[in-house]
Chains A and B, each alone.
Chain A
Amino acid sequence: MSRQILVNAFDMNTPTHLVSGTWRDPSSRAADYKTLRYWTELAQLLERGLFDGLFIADVLGVYDVYGGTPDAALRGAVQVPVNDPLLLVPAMAHVTEHLGFGVTVSTGFEHPYPFARRISTLDHLTEGRIGWNIVTGYLNSGARNIGLDAQVAHDTRYDHADEYLDVLYKLWEASWEDDAVVRDVDRGVYVDPAKVHPIEHEGRWFRVPGIHLSEPSPQRTPLLYQAGASRRGKEFAAAHAEAVFLGAPTNAILEAQVAGLRAQAVAAGRDAYDIKVFSGYTVIVAETEREARAKHERYRALVDPEGALTLWSGWLGFDLSPYDLDDPLELVPNDAIQSTAETYGGGDWRVGDLVDRLSFGAGGPVAVGTPAQVADQIQAWLADSDADGLNLSHVVTPASYADFAELVVPELQRRGVYKTAYEPGTLRGKLFGRGPRLPATHRGASFRRSGVGAAA
Chain B
Amino acid sequence: MSAVSRLRLNAFAMNCVSHIHHGQWVRPDTRQLEYASLDPWVELARLLERGRFDALFLADVVGTYDSFRGSRDTAVVEGLQIPVNDPSLLIPALAYATTDLGFAFTQSILQEQPFNFARRLSTLDHISGGRVGWNVVTSYLETAGRNLGFGGLPPHDERYERADEYLEVVYKLLEGSWEDDAVLRDVERRVYADPAKVHEIDHVGRYYDVVGPHLSEPSPQRTPVLFQAGSSERGRAFAARHAEAIFIAGRNPAGARAQIEDVRARAAQIGRDPGDILFYQGLSAIVGGTEEEARRKAAEIDAYASEDGYGAHMAGNLGIDLSALDFDAPIGELQTNGSQGLLQGLIEAAPDKTWRFGDLMRFVVDLRVVGTPEQVADQLQTWVDAGVNGLNLMYHTTPGSFADFVDGVVPVLQERGLVQREYAPGTLREKLRGDGAGARLNERHPAAGHRRARAAAVAR
Q: Across the A-B interface, how many residue pairs have beta carbons closer than 8 Å?
A: 222
Residues of A within 8 A of B93 (CB): 90-91, 93-94, 125
Secondary structure class of chain B's binding surface, majority of residues: mixed
- With beta carbons under 8 angstroms apart, the residue of B79, B96, B112, B185 that contacts A114 is B112
Q: Does B216 belong to the interface (CB within 8 Å)? A: yes
Which residue of chain B is the closest to A195 with respect to CB atoms? B76
B18 touching A190 by the CB < 8 A rule? yes
A87 touching B124 by the CB < 8 A rule? yes
Bound together, the chains give a CA A61 to CA B116 distance in angstroms of 10
A90 touching B83 by the CB < 8 A rule? no
A146 touching B126 by the CB < 8 A rule? no
Q: When each residue 90-110 of chain A gets 1 if its CB lies under 8 Å from chain B and 0 otherwise, what string results?
A: 110111000000000000011
Which residue of chain B is the closest to A218 with respect to CB atoms? B36
B63 touching A13 by the CB < 8 A rule? no
Which residue of chain A is the closest to B197 with respect to CB atoms? A74
Bound together, the chains give a CA A401 to CA B250 distance in angstroms of 55
A121 touching B42 by the CB < 8 A rule? no
- Number of A residues contacting the other chain (C-beta, 8 Å)? 77
Bound together, the chains give a CA A338 to CA B139 distance in angstroms of 41
Instruction: State which residues 1-57 of B face A: CB under 8 Å.
Output: 15, 17-18, 23, 25-26, 33, 36-38, 42
Bound together, the chains give a CA A122 to CA B38 distance in angstroms of 10
B213 touching A76 by the CB < 8 A rule? no
Q: Does A347 belong to the interface (CB within 8 Å)? A: no
B215 touching A191 by the CB < 8 A rule? no
Smallest CB separation, A64 vs chain B (Å): 10
A185 touching B77 by the CB < 8 A rule? no
Given known contacts A77-B192, A91-B96, A125-B89, is B64 in contact with A211 (CB within 8 Å)?
A: yes
B77 touching A121 by the CB < 8 A rule? no
Instruction: State which residues 173-214 of A face B: CB under 8 Å.
Output: 176, 181, 183, 185-186, 188-193, 196, 206-211, 213-214
Residues of B within 8 A of A424 (CB): none
A83 touching B193 by the CB < 8 A rule? no
Bound together, the chains give a CA A255 to CA B210 distance in angstroms of 42
Which of A76, A84, A114 neighbours the largest number of chain B CB atoms within 10 Å of its CB? A84
Q: Does B295 belong to the interface (CB within 8 Å)? A: no
A94 touching B97 by the CB < 8 A rule? yes
Instruction: State which residues 132-148 of B face A: CB under 8 Å.
Output: 143, 146-148
- With beta carbons under 8 angstroms apart, the residue of A88, A110, A185, A304 that contacts B92 is A88
Residues of B within 8 A of A69 (CB): 195
A109 touching B116 by the CB < 8 A rule? yes
Q: When each residue 50-82 of chain B gets 1 if its CB lies under 8 Å from chain A and 0 otherwise, what string results?
A: 000000000000111000000111001111001
- With beta carbons under 8 angstroms apart, the residue of A24, A40, A125, A217 that contacts B96 is A40
Bound together, the chains give a CA A69 to CA B18 distance in angstroms of 50
Instruction: State which residues 176-207 of B face A: CB under 8 Å.
Output: 183, 185, 187, 190-195, 198
Given known contacts A24-B187, A87-B123, A90-B38, is B148 in contact with A114 (CB within 8 Å)?
A: yes
Q: Does B162 belong to the interface (CB within 8 Å)? A: no
B37 touching A124 by the CB < 8 A rule? yes
Which residue of chain A is the closest to B77 with respect to CB atoms? A189
A88 touching B127 by the CB < 8 A rule? yes
B85 touching A120 by the CB < 8 A rule? yes
B85 touching A117 by the CB < 8 A rule? yes
Residues of A within 8 A of B25 (CB): 190
Given known contacts A147-B113, A213-B62, is B96 in contact with A36 (CB within 8 Å)?
A: yes
Residues of B within 8 A of A144 (CB): 209-211
Q: Does B167 belong to the interface (CB within 8 Å)? A: no
B208 touching A147 by the CB < 8 A rule? yes
Residues of B within 8 A of A190 (CB): 17-18, 25, 76-79
Q: Does B331 belong to the interface (CB within 8 Å)? A: no
Residues of B within 8 A of A113 (CB): 62, 147-149
Smallest CB separation, B44 vs chain A (Å): 14
A82 touching B216 by the CB < 8 A rule? yes
Smallest CB separation, B56 vs chain A (Å): 14
A21 touching B190 by the CB < 8 A rule? yes
Residues of A within 8 A of B216 (CB): 81-83
Smallest CB separation, A198 vs chain B (Å): 9
Q: When each residue 57-89 of chain A gets 1 if its CB lies under 8 Å from chain B and 0 otherwise, what string results?
A: 000111000000111101111001111101111
Smallest CB separation, A451 vs chain B (Å): 17
- With beta carbons under 8 angstroms apart, the residue of A36, A81, A84, A210 that contacts B64 is A210
Residues of B within 8 A of A215 (CB): 36, 83
Q: Does A321 belong to the interface (CB within 8 Å)? A: no
Interface residues of A, Cβ cutoff 8 Å to B:
13, 15-16, 21, 23-24, 31, 34-36, 40, 60-62, 69-72, 74-77, 80-84, 86-91, 93-95, 109-111, 113-114, 117-118, 120-122, 124-125, 127, 141, 144-147, 176, 181, 183, 185-186, 188-193, 196, 206-211, 213-215, 217, 304
14 A-B pairs in the complex with CB atoms less than 8 angstroms apart: A35-B126, A62-B213, A87-B91, A88-B127, A94-B97, A95-B96, A109-B112, A110-B113, A114-B112, A118-B89, A181-B83, A189-B77, A190-B76, A196-B76
For the complex with contacts A36-B127, A207-B149, 10 further pairs of A-B residues with Cβ separation under 8 Å are A24-B190, A60-B119, A60-B215, A76-B192, A81-B216, A83-B216, A84-B123, A94-B38, A117-B84, A206-B149
